[in-house]
Chain A
Amino acid sequence: MAHLRKTGDAVFSKVEKVNSELFSLTYGAIVTQLLKDYEEVDATNEQLEKMGYNIGIRLVDEFLAKAQISSCQNFSETAEVIAKVGFKMFLGVTAEVTNSNASEFSLQLTDNPLAEFVELPEQYSQLSYSNMLCGVLRGALEMVQMRVECTLTKDALWGDDVTELRVVLKELMDEEYKDDDE
């Protein structure tokens, strides 16, 4: 998978970039605002995922256009492409793929630009701070005909060594062709 890593580096070197701290702090401001608005953790987790989904369905276009990836042969390859090219292109970091098979995989992040400077206070210890990433993956994969479920299974903010996203393939959706004449 070394070539994917190279592709990721090449794409990231070409795209316009911004300081990751502006990004971290803005994300933090959003999470804080959601916690204020919803006043509880579960609804906040859900809303973060939803916002991620909205981003994912739009972000995939840019990804396909700029990364010039040919279609993936199997789900494990999809995992590698997301980990080495997708994450790199947008967040400047790569993820490690683990426990990968034909219908599920995990992505592990050592550096998570979303959670820089963050510590969870006790009353929010169950917060899936980076849950937006789950939504982004769900939205983006849905646009390429894969319905998945994505959950945050480990988080450095919870005391884990890494941040881990578990992606489970639920359904390969058929592409619908519509005839213009009808």
Chain B
Amino acid sequence: MRRALDRPLPRGKTEVGLSAFAFLFSEFIQYSQTRVNTADELQHKLEEAGVGIGRRVLELACLRDKSSRRETRILGILQFIQSTVWKMLFGTTADSLEKAVDQDDEFMIVEKSPLVNAFISSAPCNCAAFTAGIVRGVLEGAQFPAQVSAREYADTRTVILIKFAPEVVEREKRIS
């Protein structure tokens, strides 16, 4: 029997055609649509799929990153997501990381033209919910529980809004 853990860790440099991913993702959305009644439910499904991926990506990224350092600060984990995770999954870092002006616990990852939305012209919900799910999966796995949502703007910009749970903000205050 093949044991995934006995095999050497792949280096993560192999690629597949972008359209293979686009076909797969669009088929997933179409399938999910047949299993839900509302756009909210669909969004939730995409998010859940993303969360599972996020958890796995966190583990994979930590195994590859030999520094064996654990992110304990909010800014640290956000930068890890913006750079390491994004590079791993989407090939480049996310366009920007911003802090909400009036809220201490809210942050935003801004993407000018996210890959998952590249070929989607009309969907009943925001498909970047999938990406939001990935971000939530990573954050939860790293013990930074947060609410993560995605917002789309007319100029193809997508903003992933992260609102950390109160205990995370408290912990941050304690260690700073």
Contact partner, B15, options A17, A37, A51, A111, Cβ 8 Å: A17
Question: What is the bound-complex CA distance between A12 and B18, given in angstroms?
Answer: 10
Residue of A with least CB distance to B53: A25
Question: What is the bound-complex CA distance between A34 and B4, given in angstroms?
Answer: 21
Question: What is the bound-complex CA distance between A58 and B91, given in angstroms?
Answer: 26
Majority secondary structure, B binding face: helix
Question: What is the bound-complex CA distance between A89 and B16, given in angstroms?
Answer: 8
Residue of A with least CB distance to B87: A19
Which B residues between 64 and 96 are near A, CB-CB below 8 angstroms? 88-91
Q: Within 8 Å CB of B12, what residues of A? A: 19, 21
The interface bits of chain B over 41-56 (1 if a CB of A lies within 8 angstroms of the residue's CB, else 0) are 0000100111011001
Taking a contact as CB atoms under 8 Å apart, the answer to whether B17 and A15 are in contact is yes
Contact partner, B1, options A59, A117, A159, Cβ 8 Å: A159
Size band of the interface chain A makes with B: 35 or more
Taking a contact as CB atoms under 8 Å apart, the answer to whether B21 and A18 are in contact is yes
A32 at the interface (CB under 8 A from B): yes
Taking a contact as CB atoms under 8 Å apart, the answer to whether B24 and A26 are in contact is yes
Taking a contact as CB atoms under 8 Å apart, the answer to whether A26 and B25 are in contact is yes
Taking a contact as CB atoms under 8 Å apart, the answer to whether B52 and A91 are in contact is no
Which B residues between 26 and 62 are near A, CB-CB below 8 angstroms? 27-28, 30-32, 35, 45, 48-50, 52-53, 56-57, 60
A4 at the interface (CB under 8 A from B): no
Q: Within 8 Å CB of A59, what residues of B? A: 19, 23
Q: Within 8 Å CB of A20, what residues of B? A: 14-16
Taking a contact as CB atoms under 8 Å apart, the answer to whether B24 and A23 are in contact is yes
Taking a contact as CB atoms under 8 Å apart, the answer to whether B18 and A21 are in contact is no
Which A residues between 68 and 110 are near B, CB-CB below 8 angstroms? 89-92
Taking a contact as CB atoms under 8 Å apart, the answer to whether A18 and B115 are in contact is yes
B20 at the interface (CB under 8 A from A): yes
Taking a contact as CB atoms under 8 Å apart, the answer to whether A29 and B49 are in contact is yes
Taking a contact as CB atoms under 8 Å apart, the answer to whether A21 and B89 are in contact is yes
Q: Within 8 Å CB of B35, what residues of A? A: 37
16 contacts between A and B (CB under 8 A): A20-B15, A20-B16, A21-B12, A22-B90, A30-B28, A30-B31, A54-B27, A55-B24, A55-B27, A58-B23, A91-B16, A91-B17, A91-B20, A92-B17, A159-B1, A159-B2
B residues adjacent to A (C-beta < 8 A): 1-5, 10, 12, 14-21, 23-25, 27-28, 30-32, 35, 45, 48-50, 52-53, 56-57, 60, 88-91, 115
Interchain residue pairs A-B with the least CB separation, the first 3: A16-B18, A17-B15, A29-B49
